[in-house]
Amino acid sequence: MIDYIRENLSYYPLFYRLLFTGKKEIIPERVDFGSDKEQYFLYYEPSKPVSEKIVVWVHGGGWNAGNPKQFDYVGQFMAKEGYRFISLGYRLSTKYKYPAQIEDVCKGFNTAIKFLQDKGIDTSKIVVSGPSAGAHLSSIMCYCKDVQDKNKVDVSNIIGYVGFGGPYSFRNDSTWTMRTLIKMLFAKDYDRKEGEPWSLMSGNHIPMLLIHSRHDGVVKFECAEDFSEKAKVVGNKCDIYEVEDKKNTHSWYTAGCFFLKREENKTLNRFLSYIESL
């Protein structure tokens, strides 16, 4: 209950930060890959690239909210750090039921890879990441072979995966918020195991870092533990990083940390250090 209350109180300072994010240093390039207004991605080209690695980010928002434009501050941060950055959108529930979201993530990823290649950019070192609902969707794209085959996604160029606070398993003891969002995501008679990362995981070469907080009032820490245990079973390399920062609510460590500086936030530093290590 305490974590739930802290979660709700955390949204006000985050909203304030969002309103006053400061001047944009980089103007992203928008690319549409469908007719729906949410089917697009933003590409951030750093003024001084420091790495050949490209980060593909799938936003969060409970599957029913958010878009790449709303999370512009993440793209601005990563571009300032010197990384080419793709911020990927998808159709939202409840208007669109799953699997529309994962279909969009796969289509957007394929479109983004071609877009980068057409620019003459090397796409052999891709890092896929996402917070919350974005962690759910991006993990399915990275680790479910059936989804990859169906949507013709080649993951051979993905060298790492980072998920922040992802609902990787649909636990019976999930929070009320998570149960409600999942109910909104799926059609009434849909087999939810067909949209559960834990059930869908296949073995492959992509190492993963799962960032999670034990004080997450939305997605239980046990979801990361479940996913990690399944990774061991199928032979995937997995590390869990338990959030140590005082700002450890779901909203802060999955998205709010990008308002801060690397030296101010251990979670953010772990994220960047992991990418650097790949």
Domain 2-19+30-277 fold is Rossmann fold (3.40.50)
Q: What is the pLDDT at residue 151?
A: 98
Mean pLDDT of 34-49: 96
Q: What is the pLDDT at residue 43?
A: 98
With 60 as the cut, is the pLDDT of residue 9 above it?
no
Mean pLDDT of 91-103: 98
What digits encode the pLDDT tens for the residues 197-235? 999 999 999 999 999 999 999 999 999 999 999 999 999
What digits encode the pLDDT tens for the residues 61-87? 999 999 999 999 999 999 999 999 999
Q: What is the pLDDT at residue 10?
A: 56
pLDDT confidence tier of residue 24, bands split at 50, 70 and 90: confident
Q: What is the pLDDT at residue 242?
A: 98
Q: What is the pLDDT at residue 5?
A: 60
Q: Report the chain's mean pLDDT, rounded to a whole number.
A: 94
Q: What is the distance of C-alpha 171 from the center of its chain?
A: 20
Q: What is the pLDDT at residue 165?
A: 98
Measure the CA–CA gap between 238 and 161, rounded to whole angstroms. Answer: 9
pLDDT confidence tier of residue 25, bands split at 50, 70 and 90: confident
What digits encode the pLDDT tens for the residues 124-180? 999 999 999 999 999 999 999 999 999 999 999 999 999 999 999 999 999 999 999
Q: How is residue 30 written in tokens? A: 């928008």
Q: How is residue 263 written in tokens? A: 């030296």
pLDDT > 70: what percent of the chain?
Answer: 92
The answer to whether 168 touches 198, Cβ cutoff 8 Å, is yes
Q: What is the pLDDT at residue 20?
A: 62
Name the DSSP letter for residue 28: P
Q: What is the pLDDT at residue 4?
A: 57
Identify the residue whose tokens are 């933003």: 42
The answer to whether 53 touches 125, Cβ cutoff 8 Å, is yes
The answer to whether 202 touches 143, Cβ cutoff 8 Å, is yes
Rg (CA), the chain: 17
Considering the entire predicted model, what is its pTM?
Answer: 0.95
Measure the CA–CA gap between 159 and 87, rounded to whole angstroms. Answer: 18
Q: What is the pLDDT at residue 22?
A: 61
